[in-house]
A and B are shown apart, each in its own frame.
Chain A
Amino acid sequence: MIISIEWVYIFLGLIAVCGSFYTFVDKKNPRRITSGLFYLLYGISLLLGSVIPPFFMGLLVLVMVAIVGAGGLKLGSYGEASREERIQNRNRLGHKLFIPALLIPILTVAGATGMKDVKIGELFIFDPKNITLVALGVATLIALIVGLWMTKSAPAVAVKESRRLLEAIGWAAVLPQMLATLGTIFNTAGVGSVVSNLVSQVIPTHSLFWVVFAYCIGMALFTMVMGNAFAAFPVMTAGIAVPLLIGQFGVDANHLAAIGMFAGYCGTLMTPMAANFNIVPAALLDLKDKNHVIRVQIPTALIILAVNIVLMYCFSL
C-alpha cells in the first residue's frame, strides 16, 4: 500500500518531537528538561516504534514512567491567545472556523468508505487493514493545511498549539498504551482463568437466571479490571457461557454473545482502566476530577447492565 499506518505514527511522532523542542527552552516550566525529555521520548516511541527493538522500547517507556513518578513532568507557558484576541479573530473568520473542524469527520468517513478498494496499479492507496486510522490521519493533515491557509498562520503556530493541548493532557496521553500493556501481561500470567474459575465456583449452576447473572456481571467486572471488553469476552465466555449456557442449557450463541459483549461495555464505562475513553477526555476537557466522566456514566451503565441481564434471561428461556 502507499499510505500505511506507519505514516500516521510518523505524523504523530513529529507532532510530539517538535513540541518537545519548545518545552526544552520553556523558561516558565520549572522542570523543562525532564518535561521536554518525556515528550521527546514519547515522540520517538511513536516515530520509530517499528525500528526500535522491544527491549529498548521497554526501557524507554520505563524512563518515561520514572520521569512522571519523580514529579518531573510540569506545565510551562504556552503564549495562549487572550480571550479578547480570540474574539477579535473569531469576528474576522466567523462561521468559516467550522470548516476545518468539520472536514475531519467528513474526510475521515469519506476516506474510510470511499478509498477502501482504490488502488494505483497493484497497490492500495490506504492501508486496507487500518483504513479508518489512515483516513483519520490524512483527514487531519488536510484539515490542518486548510486551517493554516484560512488563518494565514505559519506551521509553527500549529506546533505550539498542539504542544499546549498535548501538555494539558500530560501523562494521561500515555496511559491507554500502558494499560493495554498491563492487559497483555495479565493475560500471559493467566489472570483471566483465575477470575473465571472464581466466578464459576460461587454460582449455582443449576439455575439459568444465576448463570446469566454471573456471566453478565463477570463480563462487566472483568472488563473493569482489564479496561477492555475484548479481553474479557474470550475468558468469560470460555469459562461460563460455553460450558454452562450453551452446553448445559442449550442457549443460542448469537444473542448470548451480542448481549454479553454489551455487558462488558457497561464495565468499560465504569473503569479508569479504559483510560482512552474515560481519563483522556477528562484531561482534554480540563476537568478537576479525572474520574468525573466515569461518575456521569455509572448510572446509565448500571441500568443498561440490568437491562442486559433481563434481556439475556428472557431470550434464553
Chain B
Amino acid sequence: MVLIGVAIVIVGFIIRMNPLLVVTIAGLVTGLIAQQSLYEIIEQFGQAFTTNRYMAVFIATLPVIGLLERFGLREQAENVVSKIKAATTGRIITAYFIIREAAAAVGLTSIGGHAQMVRPLVAPMAEGAAEAKYGKLPDDVRDKIRAHSAAADNIGVFFGEDVFVAIGAILLMKGFFDQNNIPSDPLKMALWAIPTAIAALIVHCIRLYLLDRSLQKQLGAGKNVPLEQGKEE
C-alpha cells in the first residue's frame, strides 16, 4: 500500500505535471495511508523543509554571479576560449571534468558547482569554443553543450568524492556497519572506491571525445567551416 506514493511520483513525472505539486501530493497521500494525522504530516513537511535548507545554499552565489553577468562575465569567458586554437567543446568540458573529479578525490568538493562554475564559466567557454569553430549555434546544440557541462560537474564530483576518507558517504557507511557490529575500515572503503572512480573517468572522457565528433558531424558541414578542421585527430 505504501508504494502508492512511489507510483504517484512516477506517474506524475510521466504525465509532466508540475513536480512540486506531484511531490507534495505523494507526500500527503503516503502519510495518510500510513495512518498519520494531517497535523503530523504538515508538521513533517515543515520540519524536513527547515532541516534541508542547506540545499538552498546556491542562492548565496546568485548576487555576485548575476552582477558579473551584467558586466559581461559570460561574454568574456566565451571570448577567452575563442582565442585558443586547441580549445574544443569536448576538451574544455573534459578539462573541467578531470579537475572536478581530482579535486573531489582529495576532499575539495566545493571547488565546482552549477551556480558558481558551470553557468558563468564552463558552459559559456564550451559554447564559445564551438562558436569559434562553427559560427552561431542552433538552440538544440547549445542546450546539448550546456547539459553536458552540468553533467560533467555531477559525474566528476560523485565518483571523485568517495575516494576521500572523511567524506559524508564513507562516514555514513562506517556508522551503518558499526551499528550492525560488522567490522569496517574507512581507509579501505576509500581505496575500494578507486577502481570505479577510474572507470568513470575513462568512460566519461570517451563520451566527451565523442561529443566533439558529433558536433563536428552535425555542424562541420555548414558554411562556417574554418581551416583548422583538418587538424582534428
Interface residues of A (CB under 8 A from B): 5, 8-9, 11-12, 15-16, 45-46, 49-50, 52-62, 65, 68-69, 80-81, 83, 86-87, 89-91, 93-95, 97-98, 100-101, 104-105, 108-109, 112-113, 130, 132-133, 135-137, 140-141, 143-144, 147-148, 151, 153, 157-162, 164-166, 171, 173-186, 188-191, 194-195, 225, 229-230, 233-234, 237-238, 242, 246, 253-255, 257-259, 261-262, 265, 268-269, 272-273, 275-282, 284-289, 292-293, 295-297, 299-300, 303-304, 307-308, 311, 315
Distance in Å: Cβ of A203 to nearest Cβ of chain B: 19
| B162 and A258 form a contact (CB under 8 A) | yes
B38-46, B128-136, B216-224 - the one binding chain A: B38-46
CB of B102 within 8 Å of the partner chain: no
B214–chain A nearest beta-carbon distance, Å: 12
Residues in B lying within 8 Å of A, measured CB to CB: 2-3, 5-6, 9, 13, 18-21, 23-24, 26-27, 30-31, 33-34, 36, 39, 41-73, 75-77, 79-80, 108-121, 123, 139, 143-144, 146-151, 153-155, 158-159, 162, 168-169, 172-173, 176-177, 180, 182-185, 188-193, 195-196, 199-200, 203-204, 207
Establish whether residues A258 and B189, one from each chain, have CB atoms under 8 Å apart when the complex forms: yes
Minimal beta-carbon separation of A96 from chain B (angstroms): 9
CB-CB under 8 A from B192, the residues of chain A are 254-255, 257-259, 315
Q: A15 CA to B60 CA in the complex, in Å?
A: 8
Alpha-carbon distance A147/B67, docked complex (angstroms): 7
Partner of B71, one of A11, A90, A237, A262: A90
Q: State the CA gap A132–B89 with chains docked (Å).
A: 31
The distance from the CB of B73 to the nearest CB of chain A, in whole angstroms, is 5
Given A109-B110, A185-B41, A194-B3, the answer on whether A179 and B23 have CB atoms closer than 8 Å is: yes
Given contacts A184-B44, A254-B184, contact A162 B66 (CB under 8 A): yes
A–B complex contacts, Cβ < 8 Å, 27 sampled: A49-B53, A57-B46, A65-B20, A65-B24, A81-B71, A93-B76, A97-B76, A104-B64, A108-B110, A132-B110, A137-B60, A140-B64, A151-B68, A161-B69, A165-B66, A181-B27, A181-B49, A182-B26, A185-B30, A188-B44, A194-B3, A230-B168, A265-B158, A268-B154, A280-B58, A281-B119, A292-B146
B70 lies within 8 A of A175 (CB): no
Knowing A188-B34, A293-B150 touch, does A308 contact B50 (C-beta < 8 A)?
A: no
| Extra inter-chain contacts (7) besides given A59-B46, A308-B196, CB under 8 Å | A62-B45, A87-B72, A166-B59, A254-B184, A269-B151, A284-B114, A315-B192
Q: Are B47 and A157 neighbours in the complex by a CB distance under 8 Å? A: no
Expressed in whole angstroms, the minimum distance between the Cβ of B134 and any Cβ of chain A is 20
Chain B residue at smallest Cβ distance from A166: B62
Question: What residues of A have a CB within 8 angstroms of the CB of B189 in the complex?
Answer: 254-255, 257-258
Q: How far is the CA of A262 from the CA of B63 in the complex (A)?
A: 34
Label chain B's interface by main secondary structure: helix
Residues of chain B lying within 8 A (CB to CB) of residue A173? 56, 59
B154 and chain A: residue at smallest CB distance: A277
Cα of A54 to Cα of B61 in the assembled complex, Å: 27
Q: Which chain A positions have C-beta within 8 A of B184?
A: 253-254, 257
Q: A8 and B50 in contact (CB under 8 A), knowing A238-B180, A287-B146, A293-B147? A: no
Residue in B closest to A70 when the chains form the complex, CB atoms: B21
Name the residue among A80, A87, A285 with the largest chain B CB count within 10 angstroms: A285
B9 touching A262, Cβ below 8 Å: no
- Residues of chain B contacted by A242 (CB below 8 angstroms): 180, 182
Chain A residues with CB below 8 A from B123, complex form: 285
**Contact residue among A56, A288, A289 (Cβ-Cβ distance under 8 Å from B46):** A56
Chain A residues positioned under 8 Å from B108 (CB to CB): 109, 113
Q: Which listed residue, B62, B79, B207, touches A15 by the CB 8 Å rule?
A: B62
